[in-house]
Copies of this chain bind each other. A is one copy, B any other.
Amino acid sequence: MPPFDVPEGDPFGVHNLPYGVFSTAEAPAERRVGVRLGDHVLDAGAAALALDSPYAALLAQPTLNPLLAAGRTAWSDVRRALTAWVTVPSHREVVEPLFHPLSSVTLHLPFEVADYVDFYASENHARNVGQIFRPDAADSLTPNWKHLPIGYHGRSGTVVVSGTDVVRPSGQRKAPTDPAPVFGPSVRLDIEAEVGFVVGVPSPLGTPVPLGDFREHVFGLCLLNDWSARDIQAWEYVPLGPFLGKSFATSVSAWITPLEALEDARVAPPERTHPLLPYLDDSADEPGGYDLRISVAINGHVVSEPPFSTMYWTAAQQLAHMTVNGASLRTGDLYGSGTVSGPEERQRGSLLELTWNGRDPLELPDGKRTFLEDGDVVTLSAWAPGPGGARVGLGEVTGRVVAG
C-alpha cells in the first residue's frame, strides 16, 4: 500500500527524500513544505506537528528557507527524522493520511532565490562555444578558463519553477552583415542543461568560504535550464556579458535533492591540466564531482545525455571562487554549474552545440530543429547512483515555449 510501500528500485524511494513546496486544490493559497516519496508528497510540516517533532519550526513553513538556514547538523537530523516517519510502522497510522498524490498538488518555487550566479564549468561546452564563435583562435578556451571558474550574476527574479511556460523573448539582434540592429522575437532560442546548487547557510561580508566548507553551506542541488536567446546575447554581450539574452527566464526543478542523498554519486573531477592557486586546489580533498546522468528531451524525444561527471570545475570550487573576494552568501543563493556537455556529440547540453549553431539541424519525430519553436516542451531529467545500486532521481525541469 503506497506511500509506505514505494516499489523497490523507485528513484524517489526513501534513500532520496527531496524537498519541495506544494499547495492543494482545497487550499491553493497555503504553501507547505513537501517531501517526495515515490509518486506521493508528504506534508512534512503537518507530519512534524502530528508527531510533536521539534522540526516543526523548520518544516511547517511556506518555503524551504528556514530549513536551508538551519545548517548541516539540522539537515541531517531532519532527514533522519523524516526517514523514520515514512518507514517505522508505528508512525504509519499518523503519517499515511498526510501524503498527497503528486498528480493532485501544485508545485511552487521551493525557496526564495537570493542571488543567482551562473558558471561556465564544462570544458567541452566552453571549447565547443569557442570553436563556433572564434574558429580562427589558436585556443578555443579563453586564457583565464583553466585558472578560475568563470561566472556572472543572472536575474534571480526570473527564476521560475519547472512547468512554468517560457515566453519567447523579444530584443535587439544584429547579424554582422546587417547595417543596423533589428527588433523582434528571438529566432535562436536555446536551452542550457545545467545543475543548480542551493546555498543554505549564509556567510559574513568580507570572509571567504574555503573549499572544505562547501557542505557546511550548500544544502542540495536541482536541475536548471538556463534558457538563452543566442541572437540577443550575441549583440549585447561585449563588453559586460550576457544580460537580456538570459534574464527572461531560468527554470529549476520543483524538488531540491539534499547533498546527503548523493553520497554514492561523488566522483573525482577530470584531471586538472593546469596548476591551481591554493584557494582552488582540491587535489588533497574528498571527491568534488557528482555523477549525475542528465537527459535532455524535446517534446518527449531525448536529444542528448550530458554527463555531469565531466565538469572541470566543481561546485565546491565555484563556491570558494565566488566568495574569495569577501562577497557574502545568503540563504537561498542559487548557482548554476554552466551548461553540461560531455565529449560526445550526443552529450551536448545546448542546441547551439547540438546543431553546431544551426548548421546541422536535429531530426526530431515532428521535424527538424535548429533552435526552439513555439510550442516545444523541453524537459531535463537526471539520476545519480545511490546506495546499494539504487538510483537517486532528480526532479525534472520542464517548460513550454510560448509566443510573445
Contacts and interface: CB of A to CB of B under 8 A. Distances in A.
A183 B277 contact: yes
A326 B167 contact: yes
A270 to B, nearest CB: 20
Contacts of A247: 153, 322, 325, 327
A152 B152 contact: yes
Contacts of A321: 244
A181 B115 contact: no
A205 B167 contact: yes
Interface in A147-187: 147-148, 150-158, 160, 167, 169-172, 174, 180-181, 183
A243 B318 CA distance: 12
A144 interface: yes
B277 A172 contact: yes
Do most interface residues of chain A lie in helix, strand or loop, or is the interface mixed? loop
Contacts of A181: 144, 147-148, 277
Q: Which 10 pairs between the two chains have the least Cβ-Cβ distance? A: A241-B241, A169-B325, A167-B206, A153-B153, A152-B240, A244-B325, A240-B241, A248-B325, A247-B327, A157-B330
Interface of A: 114-115, 117, 120, 142-144, 147-148, 150-158, 160, 167, 169-172, 174, 180-181, 183, 205-206, 208, 229, 232, 235-245, 247-249, 275, 277-279, 321-322, 324-330, 333, 404
27 contacts: A115-B155, A142-B238, A142-B239, A144-B172, A144-B181, A144-B236, A147-B180, A148-B181, A150-B239, A150-B240, A150-B243, A153-B153, A153-B154, A156-B156, A157-B329, A158-B328, A167-B205, A167-B206, A170-B325, A237-B239, A239-B241, A240-B242, A244-B324, A244-B327, A245-B325, A247-B327, A326-B404
